Chain A
């Protein structure tokens, strides 16, 4: 099955939550996380098969476009080519930690991604992986940021969810709605 349905559904989800994501980002960053996601997903939804995550990187722009694009790249390979999702998410997580110089606990998308990838690697179901990601997302509320613009915010953004961790969960929740063919 092609990844088209996923990118279309994710575009719809991100569009309906754009203001919420921008508001979350405004508390800890420059307030454009929802808009940049939607900009990238608008292109990805209509791109050619096999080029969707790359279209996202191009249109979304910046380092965050690249890092989220690496997650979407693995999901796209899983849906298009049947590549193993557990290995893909693990690889994306390792790459993001390496490129973004970020670790679990730093208040970033990795705090959602790493628990999900870990759950799948342990042989748990996708639903359990999504729950693990949601718990990781909720834990970012009490974290002090060690990466990104949030570390320059007073208090390191403590008391606010990390917008990247929130949108990463949105990606996994969208993937969980895979239509029965």
Chain B
């Protein structure tokens, strides 16, 4: 399969060269070039809590694209689909940590959890105040009573943005951590995959699927989920996904849900906008208002075809942070899209 790379050994660093030189929001870390650090309008880390995450690459624009004012202070970039090592994450914490403390966001995948928590332990040994915040939202990975075993999926972007805005507003570490956990408990995500992406490591498709089937609940690396369904009008698929999401975490009639429609890399904006329109309709039929959507391809797996829907039931303050202005290379402006905000 054709891919536009120079050399597998340098593909991540070549991408980072392009990213950093294109985006004045960010610079390379002083401790390691695999760290992307906020450059424009930097926080005073002794006065404001700093936020960072480490993740494998191959999923861009997340998370390097969210480094900047109002979201993340740093991103530690691992190899393709591989968590960065604990000592590299530790260097990332050193880059941004100050007296106000740091939250290390961890999307719940095995390598990320082990390396991220180990980095936190080593940072505490060195006297830094760091809280690891596990993020998980994929309802296909475990039932509601075992939600803490779920994987991180695109609904984690609610936490990035809301904590980023609240940190910018000066919230202290303990209150921010509580806010992150509250947002996590209110968020559910379900994905539908249509066609495989090609691994830059192997050049091979990451899974196989017959032409007339869609896979419900696939993880961001092609991990198994709920199983296959037949293709048909997208209306039926979205209706099924909304039913499962609301069964898992109900939103009362008269309530509202903020929505992320995330493309996996090979699905068009034309399709994603259709999914959003069907999401609005499926929620409306249950008397739930869809508000403040984020629509586009933000958490990708190369050219994988498919999308996920994330629902998040915010309180007023959370919704305000979700819609707060930000200045990063890739986080979009979130519009409220609700004529009568609560």
Partner of B114, one of A54, A55, A63, A73: A63
User: A100 on the interface (CB 8 Å rule)?
Assistant: yes
- Chain A: CB-nearest residue to B32: A58
B85 lies within 8 A of A66 (CB): yes
CA A117 to CA B90, docked complex, whole Å: 26
* Beta-carbon contacts under 8 Å, A42-98 to B: 54-55, 57-58, 60-63, 65-67, 69-70, 73, 95, 98
A66 lies within 8 A of B118 (CB): yes
* Beta-carbon contacts under 8 Å, A84-119 to B: 95, 98-100
Partner of B82, one of A55, A61, A95: A61
Give, as a whole number of angstroms, the nearest-CB distance from B296 to chain A: 32
- Chain B: CB-nearest residue to A55: B87
* B85 CB contacts on chain A under 8 angstroms: 57-58, 60-61, 65-66
User: B117 on the interface (CB 8 Å rule)?
Assistant: yes
* B121 CB contacts on chain A under 8 angstroms: 95
* A58 CB contacts on chain B under 8 angstroms: 85, 87-88
Give, as a whole number of angstroms, the nearest-CB distance from A126 to chain B: 24
CA A156 to CA B134, docked complex, whole Å: 30
User: B202 on the interface (CB 8 Å rule)?
Assistant: no
- Chain B: CB-nearest residue to A98: B117
- Chain B: CB-nearest residue to A62: B111
- Chain A: CB-nearest residue to B115: A66
A63 lies within 8 A of B88 (CB): no
* B118 CB contacts on chain A under 8 angstroms: 57, 66, 69-70, 95, 99
With a 10 A CB-CB cut-off, give which of B82, B90, B111, B114 has the most chain A CB atoms.
B114
CA A154 to CA B127, docked complex, whole Å: 45
* A73 CB contacts on chain B under 8 angstroms: 122
Give, as a whole number of angstroms, the nearest-CB distance from A166 to chain B: 21
A100 lies within 8 A of B90 (CB): no
* B117 CB contacts on chain A under 8 angstroms: 98-99
With a 10 A CB-CB cut-off, give which of A57, A62, A73, A95 has the most chain B CB atoms.
A57
Give, as a whole number of angstroms, the nearest-CB distance from A94 to chain B: 10
Interface majority SS on B: helix, strand, loop or mixed? helix
User: B6 on the interface (CB 8 Å rule)?
Assistant: no
> Digit string of B85-107 for contact with A (CB within 8 Å is 1, else 0)?
11110100000000000000000
With a 10 A CB-CB cut-off, give which of A61, A66, A95 has the most chain B CB atoms.
A66
B87 lies within 8 A of A100 (CB): no
* B122 CB contacts on chain A under 8 angstroms: 54, 73
* A57 CB contacts on chain B under 8 angstroms: 85-87, 118
User: B110 on the interface (CB 8 Å rule)?
Assistant: yes
Partner of A99, one of B88, B90, B114: B114
* A100 CB contacts on chain B under 8 angstroms: 114
CA A85 to CA B122, docked complex, whole Å: 17
- Chain A: CB-nearest residue to B119: A66
B90 lies within 8 A of A54 (CB): yes
* A63 CB contacts on chain B under 8 angstroms: 110-111, 114-115
> Digit string of B108-144 for contact with A (CB within 8 Å is 1, else 0)?
0011011101100110000000000000000000000
- Chain B: CB-nearest residue to A100: B114
List 10 A-B pairs, Cβ < 8 Å: A54-B122, A57-B87, A58-B88, A65-B85, A66-B86, A66-B114, A66-B115, A69-B87, A70-B118, A95-B121
